Chains A and B, each alone.
Chain A
């Protein structure tokens, strides 16, 4: 029984992760703790007090601000972890440490190198989402047993962001572009895709824009899991949007990896 080639690449990332996992687990729990304490328990009491008895209660999902914001933060964190894993480490593997070059001197092919790295990023977002769910449940922010499905939802968000970003990262020659992506794409998405407030609060045209962004679908998906509002059609819509984004981007990633690593 020989292991598939991409699994060997995946395995090497896990090997490295095992040497450094302690730090990432600490931040994996610390960040949700800080976010949920500040936004859920802190800001949330103010919001709940303010909206009590108004129609706005329903727009927050009917369970209060903490259960509303927790899945938004989960999806947002999955995006951010995926983004940081899909940019600087890719540049390092191409250019700074030449890890990919080392892999390509073994039986692994370019596609295996790519798939192994994406699988590892999926694992990392899974670990982050899992930590987030544990902390959120400690805060009493989960309202349904279906909340466990927010973990695969977080992984899907991670893959949907990681795939186009690795495709982009493989075309870059330094890290300048990553900072631009972070400021121009990631931060605005984090703030305006429904994580912190329902997008119905945005001006009409911007609502449409928000609905077209991948994080909106990730947040909506995670939220329907943790609030127990999963509905077949909307779930299918969110999942297919994110899956299609990942699938199309993986074609682009194969192209840009090949152009960079085996011209």
Chain B
């Protein structure tokens, strides 16, 4: 953990405005070297705007930012030489082959053709695309494209890799393969910065994360500490036979840590899910379905950012 203490990104009062709209509203955070750091938030929370500033692709409207020990306003190219970016939309060259995508990209970093070729071969194996190197990107599945985008971001052997929603739109198998590869990068000491709105992704990958909402950071910590400090240990999801959910919530109020009414069920937060279910039954309610589970980051997220849709 010692390496994590040395910051690779430091942001103070970081703000991004587009005209009168404030996308990122004075956020502070520090990312340690070798850490996997997550930005979690609903659509429009300011994650991508924050990412673009971290990647030195857009300049802050105010506040200070230091990346790799340098000032993005003055040393953009130098900073980006050590960063790999996986764009939300892959931004691959679909007319070129898989291998050519890596060759072209490596040349942006002025890496010699010979070295780019060597690295490209190794990276395609890493991304399980070795057999597809001569295929056009157009013919690849979404999961393959994402893996290619990740391989491409690694061509310059960056110390910091920024991934904007790395598994959005992928099927479960493809997601797990991406997570596995990101885990391997972490083992090699690469710092990863990930935005996501998937709670399981944040829980799986991140050492530490911030939850963003409406341009601000509303919580910060490790996935476990966020769960511990914002929600109870267990959650009971109960659906009643006669649908009188509102009545149940009124009866239970104050009895558990928190009770939440949803359209079709009631969520009860407490230390012991089974005991909560017994209490529900003791009040004389009959449940059609009852699920006891551990509280997850999703519960934290929903509690912090609300259940209403952002867009």
Contacts and interface: CB of A to CB of B under 8 A. Distances in A.
Given A2-B110, A12-B104, A262 B55 contact: no
B94 interface: yes
A11 B107 CA distance: 8
Interface in A195-238: none
**Which of A20, A104, A106, A108: most chain B CB closer than 10 A?**
A106
B107 A12 contact: yes
A19 B100 CA distance: 10
B95 A16 contact: yes
Given A262-B57, A262-B59, A99 B91 contact: yes
Contact of B94 (A2, A3, A97, A262): A97
A239 interface: no
Interface in A1-44: 2-3, 5, 8-9, 11-12, 15-16, 19-20
Nearest to B90: A98
A109 interface: yes
Given A19-B96, A107-B77, A12 B91 contact: no
Contacts, number: 76
Contacts of B78: 107
A106 B87 contact: no
Contacts of B94: 97
Given A20-B95, A262-B59, A15 B107 contact: yes
B239 to A, nearest CB: 44
Contact of B93 (A9, A11, A99): A99
Nearest to B59: A262
A209 to B, nearest CB: 39
A95 B246 CA distance: 48
Given A19-B96, A263-B58, A8 B91 contact: no
Contact of A102 (B58, B77, B93): B93
A47 interface: no
A172 B58 CA distance: 20
A24 B85 CA distance: 33
A62 B90 CA distance: 58
A146 interface: no
Contacts of A20: 95
Interface in B39-96: 55, 57-59, 76-78, 80-81, 83-85, 87, 89-96
A263 B59 CA distance: 8
Contacts of A104: 57
A104 B78 CA distance: 13
B105 A102 contact: yes
Contacts of A11: 107
B80 A106 contact: yes
Nearest to B106: A106
Nearest to A107: B77
A255 to B, nearest CB: 15
B103 interface: yes
B55 A105 contact: yes
B272 to A, nearest CB: 49
Given A16-B93, A105-B85, A107-B80, A263 B108 contact: no
A105 B93 contact: no
Contact of A105 (B87, B96, B103, B110): B87
Contacts of B103: 15
Contacts of B96: 16, 19
Given A15-B103, A98-B87, A262-B57, A103 B108 contact: yes
A20 B110 CA distance: 23
Contacts of B83: 105
A101 interface: yes
A101 B109 contact: no
Interface string B98-142: 001001110111100000000000000000000000000000000
Interface string A166-186: 000000000000000000000
A109 B76 contact: yes
Contacts of B156: 106
B138 to A, nearest CB: 11
A12 B100 CA distance: 10
Interface string B140-177: 00000000000001001000000000000000000000
Contacts of B107: 8, 11-12, 15
Given A107-B77, A108-B77, A109-B77, A98 B108 contact: no
Interface in B226-278: none
Contact of B110 (A3, A15, A99, A263): A3
Contact of A98 (B58, B91, B95): B91
5 contacts: A15-B100, A16-B95, A105-B80, A105-B84, A108-B77
Interface of A: 2-3, 5, 8-9, 11-12, 15-16, 19-20, 97-99, 101-109, 262-263
The 3 closest A-B pairs by CB, nearest first: A105-B85, A106-B108, A98-B91
